[in-house]
Structure 1
Amino acid sequence: MADKRVDQTPDDSRRRFLKYTGTAIGGAVVGGVIGSAITGGFKKKNAAPAPSPSPAPQAQASVDFNVAPMFFNQAQMAIAEAAAERIFPKDESGPGAAELGVAFYIDHQLASPWGVNARTYRMGPFVKGEVTQGDYLSIQRHELITMGLQSLEDTSKSKYSKSFVELAPEEQDAILTSMEKGEINVVNGVTGKTFFNQFRVLVMEGVYSDPLYGGNKNMLGWKMRKYPGNQMSYAEIMDKDQFVAMEPRSLHDHYAAH
C-alpha cells in the first residue's frame, strides 16, 4: 500500500498564514499585535517611565453592621436607650446599657419572628390570669414594647413637660418606678408592669448575650463578670482548682476562624 504524504510548502508557514489572514479581513488586525508581527516584527519601544508608587491606602476602621436599627424609628431608639440605661446604668463596675448597645439588641429582637410571637399560641380567649400564671397578651411583643415606650414619653410630657430623654436621671427613675408598679396603663388594660417586666428582661439579655445579636458590645458585659463566652474547649483548665480568667470569645470569633 502506497505511503500517503502531505506536501508542505512555504505557504503553510505561520508567517504567510498571518499575512494572508490580515489581508483577508481588510486590515482589521493590522495595527494590533498581529499587525506588528506582519509589518516588521515586535519592535521594542522605549520603556515608559514607571509610575511613582502611590501611597499605601489607609486601613479603614472596621464597621460593625450590627449597630443599625431594624425596627425602631429614631425617637423610639432614643427612648429605649435612655430607659435601658436607667435599668442598667454605668457605674464603677463598668459600662451601662447605652455603651453596651443594648437598644440595638432590643431593636433586633423586635424585628425578628420573636417580635411577632411567631412561635406562641395566639388563639383567644385572652383572659387575665393569676399572678402566678403570668400574662397572656392579645397584642404582639413588638406592640407591647413600642406602646410602652410611647407611654413613657406621654407620661414624661404630661408630668414634666419634657421628652423622656431630656429628663434628669431621678425623673426617669420615677416614671419607670410607676411603670414597674403598674400605675401606668399601656393599652387595653395592659399595665406598665407588663411592659416593664418584659423590657427589663430584654435589657439584661442585651447586656449579657453574645455580641452577634447586637448587644454586649466588645464583650464588655462578659468581661465585667469574667465570663469566658463561647470557648471551643475547657480541656486545658478542667483540672485546675483555682479560677482561671479567660479572654472571652464570641460566636463570631469561631465563624471568622473558619
Structure 2
Amino acid sequence: MSTKEKSDRGDVGRRDFLKLFGAAGAAAGTLPFSGSASADETMAAASDTKHHHVTAATDPHAGGPGYEFFNVNESAFIEAAVDTLIPSDATGPGAKELGVATYIDRQMAGGYGKGDRLYLEGPFGEGTPEQGYQLPMTPSELIRAGIADVSAYVQKERKSTFDGLSAKDRAAVMADLDSKKVELPTVPTATFFGLLLQLTIEGYFADPMYGGNKGAAAWKMIGFPGADAMYADKIEPFRNKPYKAEPKGIQDLI
C-alpha cells in the first residue's frame, strides 16, 4: 500500500512513529529514566498507591485491564495514545496489543512514578536540556495532569474524547503536541509528550515481566534473543549465519 493510500485511509505507520520519535528525542533526553525498580518492587509499590480505580482483574496478564494507577478515562487515553505512537502494521504488532498501557500503569503506580529517586525540593525553573528534569511534579503527577490537559484540549477543539477520535485525528493531535503547536495549561507540552513517548518505547521493548512486550513479540520482530546471560558458545556455530531462537525473558531464567 502506498503512503498516499495509507494517508487517505487515516492509517499511521511505523515510519510516521519514527519521525515523531526523532523529533521528540531531545525532549525525552531531559527526562528521568523509568524502569529502575524490579517487577516485584513495582507491583509492591502499586499495591500501596492511593489510585486504584479499575479492579476488573488483579493480574494484568489474566485478560482484564488490571490497572493500578489509571482510572477508566485515563486508561482509555493511554491505550489510544500508545496505539497512535506505535500502531500495528505490516512490520509488527502495535503498542496497545503488546500491553504497553499496562507497562506505563505499573511505572506510574510504582517507585518511579512516585519520584522515589528524584530530587523534588526545588528551586524550580526553566532549565537547559543538560540540567535534566526541572518540574516540581513526580512523573505520575506529570502524566496525570498532561492527560487531563490534552483531554480538555481535544474536547474543546474536536468535541470528543481522545480515544473517540479516528486514528488520523489522534495522530494529528500527537503531531501538534510533538511540534508544540498546543500549549498545555498545567504542564510543559514538550516534557509531557517526551515522557509519554519514552514510556511507550520502553514498554514496547522491555522485558515482558514489566507488563509490556507481551509474548516477547517486539523482540521476535527485531530478532533479539532476550535476556540470556551469555552467547559465547553461539559465536562459532553461528558465525555469518542468522541466529534464531525463542526469546527468553528474565523470568524464564529464574
TM-score, L = length of structure 2: 0.71
Structure 1 unaligned spans of 5+: 1-61
One of 191, 216, 240 as aligned partner of 2:188: 191
SS of corresponding position for 2:234: coil
SS of corresponding position for 2:103: helix
Equivalences for 1:148-167 in 2 at 5 Å?
A: 148-167=146-165
Q: Residues of 1 paired with 2:90 and 2:210: CA distance?
A: 26
Distance 1:169 1:218, change over 3 A: same
One of 124, 127, 130 as aligned partner of 1:126: 124
Q: Contact conserved, 2:228 with 2:248, CA < 8 A, in 1?
A: yes
Larger Rg over CA atoms: 1
Q: Given the alignment of the two structures, is residue 235 of structure 1 paired with residue 247 of structure 2, yes or no? A: no
Q: Contact conserved, 1:184 with 1:191, CA < 8 A, in 2?
A: no
The Cα shift of 1:152 comes to 2.1
Q: Percent identity?
A: 33
Residue 250 of structure 1 aligns with which residue? 249
Q: Residues of 1 paired with 2:107 and 2:121: CA distance?
A: 23
Distance 1:72 1:107, change over 3 A: same
Residue 179 of structure 2 aligns with which residue? 181
Q: Residues of 1 paired with 2:143 and 2:163: CA distance?
A: 16
Q: Residues of 2 paired with 1:94 and 1:132: CA distance?
A: 35
Aligned amino acid, residue 149 of structure 1? I
Q: Contact conserved, 1:153 with 1:163, CA < 8 A, in 2?
A: yes
Aligned amino acid, residue 210 of structure 2? Y
The Cα shift of 1:178 comes to 1.7
SS of corresponding position for 2:97: helix
One of 78, 95, 98 as aligned partner of 1:80: 78
The Cα shift of 1:96 comes to 0.2
CA deviations 1:63-101 (Å, max 9, x no partner) are: 825952111112111100101111111110111011000
Q: Given the alignment of the two structures, is residue 220 of structure 1 paired with residue 217 of structure 2, yes or no? A: yes
Aligned amino acid, residue 199 of structure 2? L
Residue 4 of structure 1 aligns with which residue? none
CA deviations 1:182-214 (Å, max 9, x no partner) are: 2333444x3211100011000000000001000
Structure 2 unaligned spans of 5+: 1-58
Q: Contact conserved, 1:180 with 1:193, CA < 8 A, in 2?
A: yes
The Cα shift of 1:230 comes to 1.1
The Cα shift of 1:134 comes to 4.1
One of 64, 67, 72 as aligned partner of 2:61: 64
Q: Contact conserved, 1:208 with 1:222, CA < 8 A, in 2?
A: yes
Q: Contact conserved, 1:182 with 1:191, CA < 8 A, in 2?
A: no
TM-score, L = length of structure 1: 0.70
Q: Given the alignment of the two structures, is residue 205 of structure 1 paired with residue 202 of structure 2, yes or no? A: yes
Distance 1:120 1:63, change over 3 A: closer
Q: Which one has more relative contact order, counting CA pairs under 8 Å at least 6 apart?
A: 2
Residue 33 of structure 1 aligns with which residue? none
The Cα shift of 1:235 comes to 3.3
Aligned amino acid, residue 191 of structure 2? T
Length, aligned pairs only: 193
Q: Given the alignment of the two structures, is residue 108 of structure 1 paired with residue 106 of structure 2, yes or no? A: yes
The Cα shift of 1:172 comes to 0.8
Q: Contact conserved, 1:147 with 1:186, CA < 8 A, in 2?
A: no
Q: Residues of 1 paired with 2:116 and 2:181: CA distance?
A: 30
SS of corresponding position for 1:146: helix
Q: Contact conserved, 2:124 with 2:135, CA < 8 A, in 1?
A: yes
Distance 1:63 1:208, change over 3 A: closer
Q: Residues of 1 paired with 2:62 and 2:119: CA distance?
A: 33
Aligned amino acid, residue 61 of structure 2? D
